[in-house]
Chains A and B, each alone.
Chain A
């Protein structure tokens, strides 16, 4: 189903152009503009916008030519997104005598309407008998359209390669030199011609030559190198007389080099007389056109002035025009657009300049015409051309009403107008910054620098401190018993020094407290046996434990029975035993 719809749409698209004749155009072209009486020239009448004509084309200017029809062909082309069809009528014309002729126009009739083509000039020159044959099967000629030209005037330099044999791999060495520029005009053209009664292939390539400085120039011979295959003689018909085997691939080529003749070109300077003020060096033939749209606007809105300078010559010299300042008007220039092209007659091009004109006050304004000066080499004088002036009617602006109306339209559901590209009509910078924020600068030195380092390093310090604190705490828990032991012994030594000779009761309490602190006990009283047992359980030697038991027994006797040795001597003996105990426990 989809295919059917597509086919139908394509058919309608093809049918469409045949019915619309508003854009039918006809053109006439020749395969060369200069030939000899014995040449056959190919002529094509191209009709665009119609697939057929009511009657064959009628062509003027062919009274002195023999005409042979070459058939017709239709074509369909897609250009700028639209499908156009056309038909080409081909003819071969042979001149009967030398001379300069105008071929055309060709008239075609499409659905009752008559359309005319352009005219094409054609020069028929006498052939030089015997000259070409003396040059052999391959030779090259060069020609200038004129031998005298002004500075930067275009001169056509045409090279023709005559071939009576098949060649390949053609390369060209141009005779380029200082102060002369060569610009190739299109691709090389190939056509057939008759030379000394023999048909030959002609390859033609044209250049626009421009002298940048006055003087007399000798254009050296151009040189073409190629590979030639065979002599052009017809071989005997036989088994291998097949076009396939006549291909150059199957034949041995020989390198051939041919040169053209040298030419003289005299380049004369542009005259000083009549030179316009601010002359840009433009040489050739040019025209100017301008347009102002719209011609009626509101104050504050913009109209566009478009000026187009086009022509043939050194088009890159087309200057940027300037619109003079006008009262109560702001004028903003757009970037000019430049286009250049070339054909067989040389370089052509155009420059389009646009200005946005914004009137500030209502009234009728006159935009003065813009002019441009150039040197016309055909007339040999300077010319100044100018476009038309324009009138601009400006009515009062709407001001804020525009916004009110737009709002109402939107509320009523009316579709909004199409968006336009934002066009820049002024250039300026944005205003000052007046805020005091974000004013600070900083560096790694100074007060702020210290703060920055602190911000970076404080977390690291905090982490290291925490880590070390935790490690210290952990270590403290591990060494607590040893610390307690040291503290208990230190206390005992100190108390023995202080109260050693006092009484047995105090000595008994000192030893009891030592045991409680040293071993983490909570004994209310300590008997000699208990002390010996505790020491034995902690790994103290029996002799040492026995010595302490004896000492404690002596203290008990002194306390409860009042006999035994004196407390002062015992007080001196106890620290020694405790030191021994500490050593053994460690």
Chain B
């Protein structure tokens, strides 16, 4: 009897939790539709505020960042637009609209940028086409299959589970490695976008230091570290320097959103 009561309480708690999630979901959906409407009516700043509210409430999926990039671009803020598109690209890498708009935005940048593709992306070329979530989903399915075949092998030692196990082990290795590499690339993503129209890159973290070179809005740089409101960035091995932290926006999902 006691067990039955405990089970009922647990089910009730789970139901309430799901209901609270559903209520929260309906709130961000409304914000999303309002922001879309504001965008259509030309209220780009209102749309930006709406999308940022959604993002900061933890619901920032690829479409929200994509729409945010559109609103930024329409309001003439190229750097922030590229930042938002790059974030969207992490979440929805195969979105053709996103790739088109990002290419359109990149065409408007002033500074020449090289191909940021690393050796890992060159060898594991499919990584760029899948998001971390998709790779995890694939790995989870193969992982389930792998352990299921192992369980079958405990009861059935015939030949076909053995060959099935070989195939599944290969898949498990490939999907697991892909997922691991993608996770590594995302967790070590040090890219940042220049947000100001023109940013002075200085020799040190002080406004009195020598200006080494200038970068323009939308240029993608590598962020090395931050100190006291300054960030050390790298464009190439020859072009490194310090810039004010608010002049750049980090693309990594773990980084905070630019103000």
Contacts and interface: CB of A to CB of B under 8 A. Distances in A.
Contact of B63 (A438, A463, A467): A438
B100 A432 contact: no
B144 to A, nearest CB: 5
Contacts of A459: 143-144, 146-148
Contacts, number: 73
B39 A432 contact: yes
Given A442-B133, A455-B140, A459-B146, A430 B92 contact: no
A335 to B, nearest CB: 12
Residue in B17, B33, B61, B97 with the greatest tally of chain A CB atoms within 10 Å = B61
Contacts of B136: 452
A557 interface: no
Q: How large is the interface on B (under 10, 10 to 19, 20 to 34, 35 or more residues)?
A: 35 or more
B104 A427 contact: yes
B62 interface: yes
Given A429-B101, A429-B104, A434-B36, A439 B140 contact: no
A446 to B, nearest CB: 9
B114 to A, nearest CB: 22
B154 A439 contact: no
Nearest to A466: B151
B61 A463 contact: no
B196 interface: no
A462 B152 CA distance: 12
A428 B70 CA distance: 10
B58 interface: yes
A431 B71 CA distance: 10
B70 to A, nearest CB: 6
Residue in B40, B63, B73 with the greatest tally of chain A CB atoms within 10 Å = B63
A192 B100 CA distance: 63
A438 B92 contact: yes
B134 to A, nearest CB: 10
B203 to A, nearest CB: 28
Given A438-B92, A470-B154, A432 B70 contact: yes
A456 B140 contact: yes
Contacts of B58: 441
A428 B104 CA distance: 8
Interface in B33-51: 33, 36, 39-40
Nearest to A442: B133
A442 B29 CA distance: 17
Contacts of B144: 455, 459
A440 interface: yes
A435 B63 contact: yes
Contacts of A438: 61-63, 91-92
Given A430-B100, A436-B32, A455-B140, A460 B147 contact: yes
B101 A441 contact: no
Interface string B52-85: 0000001111111011001001100000000000
Residue in A431, A432, A462 with the greatest tally of chain B CB atoms within 10 Å = A432
A460 B29 CA distance: 37
23 contacts: A428-B104, A429-B74, A429-B105, A432-B40, A432-B67, A435-B63, A436-B29, A438-B61, A439-B32, A439-B59, A439-B63, A441-B59, A452-B136, A455-B140, A455-B143, A455-B144, A456-B140, A459-B147, A462-B151, A463-B150, A463-B151, A463-B154, A467-B154
Given A455-B140, A466-B151, 14 more contacts: A429-B105, A430-B97, A432-B40, A433-B63, A433-B66, A434-B33, A438-B61, A439-B64, A440-B61, A441-B59, A441-B253, A447-B17, A455-B143, A459-B146
Interface of B: 17, 29, 32-33, 36, 39-40, 58-64, 66-67, 70, 73-74, 91-92, 97, 100-101, 104-105, 107, 133, 136, 140, 143-144, 146-148, 150-151, 154, 253
- 6 nearest CB pairs, A to B: A459-B147, A439-B61, A433-B63, A430-B97, A429-B101, A455-B140
